[in-house]
Structure 1
Amino acid sequence: MEIQLEALQIAELFNIKKFRSEFRAEAFSGSTSEVFYALTETNRFLYVFDYGVVVFANFDPISKSEFIQFIKNYATKIVDLDLSEQYKINTDEHLNKILVKNDFVTVAKIDSSLLRIVMLNIGQSVALEYYEVLTDELITSSKHYILELEHHGKLSISKINLLKYIGKVLNVKNSIVDNLYILDDPNLVWDNEELNLLNKQLKVNFDINTRFKDLDYRLQIVENNLTLFTDVLNVRESSRLEWIVIILIAIEIIIAIFFH
């Protein structure tokens, strides 16, 4: 038996509560931040996360496309990037331990709990990829300003555009902080040693913790650059104000001389 999985980053955010109330299927399990469906009649499984990721299991292209169009009605800011990850679950009844590889995992048997753990980790991996793309864009744009400082000794960016840039950085940072829980171990693994081991192996396979640390490090670099840019802009504004004061004093002196 083989189950084909695919995770997609569809949006920045899903309204899980509204989606659950309007989707015509009974949830197998879920919370305010995620919902898992076991559609046993068609042998399909579905995992939806509020950070904009959907993980499909055994969905054909048409059914997948139809569901994506449906769930976009509950999305905030559709992601236009092609961010996806595929994985497989194979079964071997003679296997006495779980075997995790780059593209697949082999187990003795598949149940809903095991399936959820695998789908969860794929979803986390795609979400991290999305944030990696966002931070790469921020670093690339900050490099442009750093090169400008190096070559010209000044920043051409206006105060308004700098504030917009700061807002974009903080928005990405807050979005990541809000979704920190995606790295938490699910409740399923607490009392099940086999699932706990599977979860740990999958996190290593997808480099979940390492990638998150790298993501946090790169965001810190961007924030440090922002501090530098803000300081440079403040110096520029102070210099401008000083010149305005000097010009006003000069005008006042000229007027006083002219009238006396």
Structure 2
Amino acid sequence: MTSEFKAIVLCKELNLNKISQHFGISRKYKWEDFLVLKGEQLQGIVNDTEDKIIYIFYFGSMVFINFQHHQIMDVVKYIKKLEPEINDVNVFAYEDDYKLEISPDETPAINNDYMIDSVPSDYQLDIVAIILAKSVSLEKNEIQVDTLLDRIENVVNNLNRGELGVSDEELAKMSANILSFKLNTISYIMLLDNPDITWSNEEAAALYDELSVVFELKDRYEKLRQKTEILLDITEAFSNLVHAKRGTRLEWAIIILIFIEIILSLYDMFFR
């Protein structure tokens, strides 16, 4: 038995309670929960619902099990009716694939692309989906932070030529983006938190820890944290330079005004 996973990021945040109510699920979802859709809940969206499962996470990620490309697009378009902020133009901008194979005849193995186990367990699908959802959402943040680093590098190059070339508004946006990355990584994606199932199931906890190492979640988080700290330091330096430049202009304006006042006083004294 083989389960094929496809994880994507659709937006910054998904309202699980709103989506679940639409599918007739009355449960109240907390921030750390995820929504699972399968069976009759998928009828009317895709033709064949057998062995198909969707995991939906608050932080904007969705994980599809045994879905074809066009079926994923059908689901995204359907969910967009409930969540208009979903980006359905470039659905696969951030994606990750994985395969879980249950085979008693093969040696158990776990790597970046697939996992082989001899015995199926209820928690396996959940753990793999959670890891993939976090990984692909983290990838989005990594790419966006690198893009911002490139923008900062251009500003530094301009500074080397004696041109600051950045306004207060741009600095404010940069700082907001950096803080947003930190918030999304820690609070939204919950990289530092283990799922609830790991607290009650030792095997689930062991699998979660092993997959976390395989996908380097903690190492990637640490690198992202360091990059955001560097970006914050640089933007703070830019902000100080902008304020110093503004202060210098103000001082020169005051000096010019005083000089004009002296000229006018001398004019009144000698020519009137």
Superposition TM-score, scaled by structure 2 size = 0.86
Alignment of structure 1 residues 26-41 onto 2, 5 Å: 26=25, 31-33=30-32, 34-39=34-39
1:140 shift after superposition: 0.6
2:73 and 2:238 mapped to 1: Cα distance?
Answer: 44
Matched positions, count: 257
Task: State the partner residue of 1:127.
Answer: 137
1:156 shift after superposition: 1.9
Superposition TM-score, scaled by structure 1 size = 0.89
Residues 43/15 of structure 1: CA separation in 2 closer, same or farther (3 Å cut): same
- For 1:135, the aligned partner's letter is V
Which of 157, 164, 187 is 1:155 aligned to? Answer: 164
1:43 and 1:55 mapped to 2: Cα distance?
Answer: 14
1:75 shift after superposition: 5.3
Unaligned runs of 5+ in 1: none
Unaligned runs of 5+ in 2: 41-48
Of 77-86 and 115-124, deviating more is 77-86
Q: Percent identity?
A: 25
Residues 17 and 32, structure 1, Cα contact 8 Å, conserved in 2: no
2:84 and 2:193 mapped to 1: Cα distance?
Answer: 23
Alignment of structure 1 residues 83-122 onto 2, 5 Å: 83-93=94-104, 98-122=108-132
Task: State the partner residue of 2:65.
Answer: 57
Task: State the partner residue of 1:9.
Answer: 9
- For 1:54, the aligned partner's letter is M
- For 1:238, the aligned partner's letter is G
- The SS at the match of 2:159 is helix
1:4 and 1:29 mapped to 2: Cα distance?
Answer: 29
1:28 and 1:2 mapped to 2: Cα distance?
Answer: 30
Cα-Cα RMSD: 2.4
1:101 shift after superposition: 1.9
Q: Deviations over 1:167-188 (max 9, x none)?
A: 3333333333432524411111
Question: By percentage of residues, which structure has more strand?
Answer: 1
2:20 and 2:180 mapped to 1: Cα distance?
Answer: 27
- The SS at the match of 2:120 is coil
- For 2:37, the aligned partner's letter is Y
Of 99-108 and 162-171, deviating more is 162-171
Task: State the partner residue of 1:48.
Answer: 56
Residues 8 and 94, structure 2, Cα contact 8 Å, conserved in 1: yes
1:160 shift after superposition: 2.8
1:166 shift after superposition: 2.6
